[in-house]
């Protein structure tokens, strides 16, 4: 393997970045608690502008009250809003969750479709949410989840110079074999939370510092 530096092409550095991240974060996985695709879909909608920890505090009671799409579709909107209030933007989230649940209940027999186009047609579901559900629950690598952590690390690591999540996703997909797409997102998210945080990245203790054009010592 040629000697790699922070200015080596991204395509050359990324396999080594993934290898090191696997060693550093062997527990990298979806951090949203769920038992099935429907629960993960709802939890991912709730996670917008909210921490996964907060969502995981809300969903046990939420799913005890509304255990499936049919129950959520029939929920009282005001009661649903109150149940998810602490996740922020609760009125919009309640509207999207209930409308998506109605479609899932009545058009798809209560089963979340394992299809990107059908998922992104649901209210409140963009590519990020669809990629989470497809990758985690259906093991379908249709794309790369790009949340704020992935966006930040892709830019810092020089894997993408763009700011639009959809364009960052395209860059990462072009650099990475398809069978790595799901794991890549989990690894970057865990590294972003534990080491390369937004305000003060821990470059001194980062396993990627010698490969990162943004490393500061």
> Does residue 15 sit in the same domain as residue 75?
no
> Does residue 205 sit in the same domain as residue 181?
yes
Specify the pLDDT at position 25.
98
Q: pTM score, two decimals? A: 0.95
Residue 16: exposure state from Cβ atoms within 10 A (0-12, 13-18, ≥19): middle
Domain limits at 81? 37-137
Please identify which of the residues 52, 93, 142, 147 carries the catalytic annotation.
147
> Does residue 75 sit in the same domain as residue 160?
no
DSSP 8-state assignment for residue 169: H
What's the number of domains the chain is made of? 2
Here the tokens at position 173 are 């997909």
> Does residue 160 sit in the same domain as residue 92?
no
Q: Is residue 172 classed as helix, strand or coil in its secondary structure?
A: helix
Among 92, 114, 137, identify where a domain stops. 137
- Please confirm, yes or no, whether 147 is among the known catalytic residues: yes
> Does residue 129 sit in the same domain as residue 169?
no
Q: 1 pLDDT exceeds 80? A: no
217 in a structural domain = no
DSSP 8-state assignment for residue 204: G
- Please confirm, yes or no, whether 95 is among the known catalytic residues: no
Please identify which of the residues 52, 128, 142, 183 carries the catalytic annotation.
128
For 98-150, write each residue's pLDDT tens digit. Answer: 999 999 999 999 999 999 999 999 999 999 999 999 999 999 999 999 999 99
- Where residue 97 sits, what CATH number does that domain have? 1.10.340.30
For 178-190, write each residue's pLDDT tens digit. Answer: 999 999 999 999 9
């Amino acid at each position: 393997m040629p000697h790699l530096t922070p200015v080596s092409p991204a395509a050359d550095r990324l396999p080594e970045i993934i290898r090191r991240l696997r060693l550093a974060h062997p527990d990298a996985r979806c951090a949203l608690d769920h038992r099935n695709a429907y629960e993960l879909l709802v939890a991912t909608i709730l996670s917008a502008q909210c921490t996964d920890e907060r969502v995981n505090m809300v969903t046990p009671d939420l799913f005890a009250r509304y255990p499936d799409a049919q129950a959520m579709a029939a929920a009282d909107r005001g009661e649903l809003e109150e149940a998810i209030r602490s996740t922020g933007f609760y009125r919009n989230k309640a509207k999207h969750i209930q409308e998506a649940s109605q479609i899932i209940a009545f058009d798809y027999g209560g089963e979340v479709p394992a299809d990107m186009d059908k998922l992104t047609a649901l209210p409140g579901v963009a590519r990020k949410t669809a990629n989470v559900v497809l990758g985690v629950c259906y093991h379908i690598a249709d794309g790369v989840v790009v949340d704020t952590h992935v966006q930040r690390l892709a830019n810092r690591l020089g894997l993408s110079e763009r700011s639009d999540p959809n364009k960052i996703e395209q860059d990462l997909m072009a650099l990475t074999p398809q069978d790595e797409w799901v794991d890549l997102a989990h690894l970057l998210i865990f590294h972003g939370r534990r080491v390369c945080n937004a305000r003060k990245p821990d470059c001194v203790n980062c396993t990627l510092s010698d490969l990162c054009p943004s490393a500061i010592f």
